[in-house]
Amino acid sequence: MKIYGVAILAACYFAGLIIGELLGSLFGVKGNLGGVGFAMLFFILLTDWMNKKNLMTEDYAAGISFWTSLYIPIVIAMASIQNVNAAINSGAVAIASGLVATVLSFALIRFLISMLKEEGG
Amino acid sequence: MDAVFQMFLKNGFVLSFLMVGIIMLITQFISQKILRNKIPGVALAIALGLVLASFGGKTGIADIPIFSGMALLGGSMLRDFAIVSTAYGASMIEIKKAGWVGFVSLFVGVFFNFIVGVIFAIIFGYSDPGDIATLASGTCTFIVGPITGNAVGASSEIITLSIAAGVMKVLIVSVVTPLIRSMVGIESKTSAMVFGGVMGTVSGVSAALASINPKLVPYGALTATFYTGIAAILCPSVFYPLLKWILV
């Protein structure tokens, strides 16, 4: 039953969101703080454990993969419902931070990979 | 004619699948046939999504009644649900194979990108900690911007900018990485994991690795997925409170 896979995903989603809500009230913020990240973590741990115990069937996985394949389409829909006209004048901040962060990340990767090589001998 | 229009209006959610399908069809075609896979179709599709949003107002294209279904498909509920599903297949054992450098690269990568985002947000005159955190989260990767933005109640304008910063990153990562691969040193599975762990953008990293060596794609995509998860935790629940505490 594919729906079991989707239900497991939903259970982890809510488990994560509950943590996010708790953190939100802890810091006095109305929103959900990090719930999605915690949900991902729970989902990795649970499905990993299920895989080891052979509880994960191909059917469950198919239910999950359907949602994974919808991720990018959903992101595109998300982009299309933003207030772009209000943002367009301040677009420079997006270009600058994206550009500089990426260029500096290349340097960081080079450094980390060179450390890796030293470690490996 | 009016009956047909009413039908589309009533079935807005289903229409949104058709819309996004068409957007992806067009952008995939441009990416593969015209740009010869130099730029991933995903980045083009998100960019086209942003362009379409400019035809509407506060809620982008969803302001136009016939396209109101996009607001449900692209809303935070389905978005967050789909993000969580992407974690499937990322196992802790795999990440351990990357060793401590792979692990460290994840945290360093998220922190580093966030800091750069914060610095630029401040340079460009933003002072609200929520706005700064949202922009910085988008600098980490395009999906974490909206997640943080929703959590801290940032405006759609700021969320748009955070997506744009992330899309910028996808573009540079996918175009530039193949050109400078020997300089950066991406040649092994472990180095691909470090690359994904520091850059974080799954689509950018996958596209870049595909043109370097397709066998490396799963390794970079794995750490990039972890990066998204860690950033989705750290940005709103650790970095934002810290930023608020420092700035206010």
pLDDT in tens, B129-187: 999 999 999 999 999 999 999 999 999 999 999 999 999 999 999 889 988 988 888 88
A24 near B CB under 8 A: yes
For residues B49-58, give the mean pLDDT.
94
B49 near A CB under 8 A: yes
Top-confidence residue, B154 or A116: B154
CB contact under 8 A, A80 and B70: yes
CB contact under 8 A, A92 and B50: no
Q: Which of A107, A101, A119, A113 is nearest to B193 (CA)?
A: A113
Share of chain A above pLDDT 70, in %: 98
pLDDT at A102 exceeding the cut of 80: yes
d(CA B37, CA B30): 9
Residues of A in contact with B160 (CB under 8 A): 82-84, 86-87
Identify the weakest region by mean pLDDT among B118-122, B183-187, B194-198: B183-187
Q: Is the dihedral of CA B133, B200, B58, A70 positive or negative?
A: negative
Identify the weakest region by mean pLDDT among A3-7, A29-33, B220-224: A29-33
Question: Residue A120: its pLDDT value, please?
Answer: 58
Question: Residue A119: its pLDDT value, please?
Answer: 65
The two tokens of residue B210 are 């595909």
Share of chain B above pLDDT 70, in %: 100
d(CA B246, CA B248): 6
Identify the weakest region by mean pLDDT among A27-31, A85-89, A104-108, B58-62: A27-31
Identify the weakest region by mean pLDDT among A42-46, B97-101, B195-199, B237-241: B97-101
Nearest by CB: B92 against A31, A44, A94: A44
CB contact under 8 A, B85 and A106: no
pLDDT tens digits for range A30-84: 888 889 999 999 999 999 999 989 999 999 999 999 999 999 999 999 999 999 9
Identify the weakest region by mean pLDDT among A14-18, A114-118, B150-154, B157-161: A114-118
Of the pLDDT bands very low, low, confident and very high (cuts 50, 70, 90), residue B38 is confident
Of the pLDDT bands very low, low, confident and very high (cuts 50, 70, 90), residue A117 is confident
Q: How far is A3 from chain B (nearest CA, A)?
A: 13
A43 near B CB under 8 A: yes
* A:53-112 residues touching chain B, CB 8 A cutoff: 61, 64-65, 67-68, 70-88, 90-106, 108-110, 112
CB contact under 8 A, B81 and A73: no
The two tokens of residue B138 are 């988008």
Cβ-proximal residues to A69 (8 Å cutoff; 6+ apart), any chain: none
Q: Is the dihedral of CA A58, A61, A63, A66 positive or negative?
A: negative
Strand-pairing partners, residue B60, are B57
Query: Are the beta carbons of B124 and A92 closer than 8 angstroms?
Result: yes
pLDDT at B62 exceeding the cut of 90: yes
Nearest by CB: B160 against A32, A67, A83: A83
Question: Residue A110: its pLDDT value, please?
Answer: 92
For residues B108-119, give the mean pLDDT.
96
Mean pLDDT, chain B, whole residue set? 92
Question: Residue B104: its pLDDT value, please?
Answer: 87
pLDDT at A121 exceeding the cut of 60: no
CB contact under 8 A, A109 and B79: no
Nearest by CB: B153 against A12, A17, A30: A30
Of the pLDDT bands very low, low, confident and very high (cuts 50, 70, 90), residue B34 is very high
CB contact under 8 A, A34 and B232: yes
φ/ψ of residue A27, rounded to 5: -95, 5
ipTM for the predicted complex comes to 0.92
B79 near A CB under 8 A: yes
Cβ-proximal residues to B191 (8 Å cutoff; 6+ apart), any chain: A113, A116, B185
Top-confidence residue, B38 or B42: B42
Q: How far is A56 from chain B (nearest CA, A)?
A: 11
Query: Are the beta carbons of B44 and B203 closer than 8 angstroms?
Result: no
Nearest by CB: A36 against B80, B180, B190: B80
The two tokens of residue A37 are 């990240």
d(CA B132, CA B201): 20
Cβ-proximal residues to B2 (8 Å cutoff; 6+ apart), any chain: none
CB contact under 8 A, A109 and B169: no
The two tokens of residue A3 are 């729906």
What is the number of other CB atoms lying within 10 angstroms of the CB of residue B100? 11
